[in-house]
Structures are given as structure tokens and as C-alpha cells.
Amino acid sequence: MLPLHGEVLLLRDGSEARLRPGTGGLISLTAPVRLVPHRPARALVLTIPAHEVDRRLRRAASPAVPLAADLDLSAGLGRVVADMVRAVGEERETLTAREFDAACDRITELLCIVVADLAGAERDRPPAPGHLAEVEEVVRRHVREHATDPGLTGAAMAKVLGWSLRQIQLALQRAGTTPRELIREERLRLVRDRLRDPLDRHTITDLAHATGFSSASALSHAFRQRFGVSPRELRELERRRAARGH
């Protein structure tokens, strides 16, 4: 929830939090939450599947996920998240499903970093050196730009970027992932985007080889685990959706 103006009071299980412009809240809907406008207020709400948050924060799904409110979204990475949410809200009608999902994926990724830094996902780990945030940012960008390279690995990135593999592992561990998981996630997103492109005519086997998977079955297995449907099922769903749109 991202307040645009006014103030919203969140009440749940005896706890409360006040959200104002410049702040935000990540709220689980698995338990009742009461929203009380303190005065005329307007806010944007982005619904994120719970498993997307749990996976990134490396915690088991729970019916009692704590309220993560009072997030500072006025500066730094928090402001980047808030600006992206506002932009997606303003441009929602102009975005394709593929573009909308890609933007929401990035928002969720960055939001979970903000939550982890503030709410204690790192509490039991030693503080990470400041430069690890920079390492993480560069590594993520490198993976996005080279996801289709079949030779992309943590060791290969370390050699190209000039950091040790251990530095890269620590930077990604801070964000709740590993080089291998990050590479696979980016490749699966790329496959999903291509499957949603009506102009893309690649077979599933072609997509597997083009995105670094060893076979179509390996891609299908990983894709179903990540998105709940097979690549072929998603392509068929998109074709039906396009047909209804016409």
C-alpha cells in the first residue's frame, strides 16, 4: 500500500501503523486487516502473490506473516520502489500483460530488499559491508543482459566483473538468493515474456536452448515449478486471451 495523500491507519491483532505519503506498507491478507482513513486519503494498492514475497525473503509461508508497515519510501531504494509503483499505476492501461508483469516483478524484487533491510530478515546474519549492495546491483544487471548465455555462471560472472565468487555469493545471499537461482529466475522470466509475445514463433525446445536450459523437459519442469503452468499451457492461455481481445 502506497499512500498518495492523507493518512491511513492500519489495525490488526492489537497492532497499528499509520501510513502517510513517503511511507508504505507490505500487508499480509491472510489475517483480517482494518484500514481507517484518518482524513480524506488516497492510496495505491499493488497485490503481490504471497509466495513471491516468501520466496525472496527465504521464509516459509505462514498465516501470521507480520505486518511490515512504516516502510520509508521517501529516499534511496524506497523512493525508487514508490516511484515505480506510481508509474505502473498511472500507465496501467497502456501496458501489455507482459510489460505489467515485468514491472511488477522488479517492484517486488526491490520491495523485498527494502523490507529485509528494515524488518529484520537479516537480523540473524552479520551486517553486510556497504559495497555488497553495489556488487548485487551490478550482478543483477549483468544477469539481465546475459541471461541467454549458456556459459553464464557465478564463476564466469566473477571473472568478467572482477570480483571474487565469494563476494558475489555474499552479495546475493544478502538478498536471499544465489548466483544459480538468480540466473534461473531471469531465464524463466525471459521465457515467460517470449511465450506472451504473439509474434514469437519459437518452439519450446528452441526457447530452452536459447535461454540456457539443457532441454525442453528441463525448462518445462522449472517453468511449472516457478509459475504453476507449463510453457505450452501458458502459450495456449495467451492465445485464447488474444483471441477474446479481438
70, 105, 124 - which closes a domain: 124
- Predicted pLDDT of residue 41: 82
- Predicted pLDDT of residue 190: 92
Q: Do both 222 and 132 map to the same domain? A: yes
Bigger pLDDT: 216 or 50? 216
For the chain, the C-alpha Rg in angstroms (whole number) is: 20
106, 124, 142 - which closes a domain: 124
Please tell me the distance from the alpha carbon of residue 64 to that of residue 190, in angstroms, as a whole number.
Answer: 33
Q: What is the pLDDT of residues 124-175, one digit of tens each?
A: 444 445 577 888 889 999 999 999 898 999 999 998 988 889 889 988 888 7
**How many structural domains is the chain composed of?**
2
Place of cell 504473439: 198
Q: Are 154 and 169 in contact (CB under 8 A)?
A: yes
Which residues span the domain enclosing 173?
127-246
Its pTM stands at 0.56
Q: Do both 174 and 238 map to the same domain? A: yes
